[in-house]
Amino acid sequence: PKDIVKIAKAQRAKSISYTYTEPTIFFEFAYDCAKLAEKEGLKNVFVSNGYMTKEAIDYIKPYLHGINVDLKAFRKEFYKKFCKAKLQPVLDNLKYLKSQGIWVEVTTLIIPEENDDSAELKELANFIKNELGPDVPWHISRFFPHYQLLDKPFTPEETLLKAYYIGKEAGLYYIYIGNVPGNQYENTYCPKCNYLIIERYGFRVLKIDLKPDLTCPNCGFFINGVWS
């Protein structure tokens, strides 16, 4: 943990993300690292499947500033088939994480013919809006054939756009289309006037246009987020 924090500070990083292996798999190490990082003024972010105990959340929450949870579908059959797990604990944890003041974002990998049904996407978007809040970002990611799902095609852009507009109709403020570098829906727009707040290309931030009080320069709408 000390080496990771030292490297992060040397690179002038503002946060450490625990990702690409579920952080609860190496929870003790992540906890030690997060505790030290927080002491050194760094933020900590989990990228997680959301399948953990309430006790684990309570243990890490003093040092956890944000979490992106993969809400992989909104059907328990999907979770049973592909994850050998249950949907409800993930939904319960999302609500609990939000209630604890941790910044929450949601990602859904859209897999053709598995979780791309309009009715299911509408249910998922409504859950985010009604149970977590309209300002919780929803990342809609493009699927590419890989590993045990080589028989599935990559997600058509029109399917991603369909999900985007379903989310907008549900009342979500911030929806992003991922794994399609250069598309306009990588950006953050003001929910009220559609002014371009953050311009991105892939993982790069090209421009941030926000007033010091974290409001839109065009209309004054407050843009919620973790900005420092």
What would the pLDDT profile of 80-113 be if each residue is shown by its tens digit?
Answer: 999 999 999 999 999 999 999 999 999 999 999 9
Greatest Cα pair distance in the chain: 49
Q: Is the dihedral of CA 87, 147, 167, 203 positive or negative?
A: positive
What single-letter amino acid sits at 166? I
At residue 228 the predicted structure's pLDDT band, cuts being 50, 70 and 90, is confident
CATH architecture observed for domain 44-208: Alpha-Beta Barrel (3.20)
Residue 203: pLDDT above 90? Answer: no
Residues with Cβ < 8 Å from 107, sequence gap 6 or more? 68, 69, 70, 71, 138, 139, 140, 141, 178
User: Which residue has better confidence, 36 or 228?
Assistant: 36
What would the pLDDT profile of 156-201 be if each residue is shown by its tens digit?
Answer: 999 999 999 999 999 999 999 999 988 999 999 999 999 999 999 9
Task: List, as one string, the DSSP characters of 149-212.
Answer: GTTSPPPPHHHHHHHHHHHHHHT-S-EEEES-TT-GGGSEE-TTT--EEEEEETTEEEEE---T
Residue 149: pLDDT above 90? Answer: no
User: Please, what is the average pLDDT of the chain?
Assistant: 97
Q: How do beta strands 204-208 and 196-201 pair? A: antiparallel
What single-letter amino acid sits at 48? S
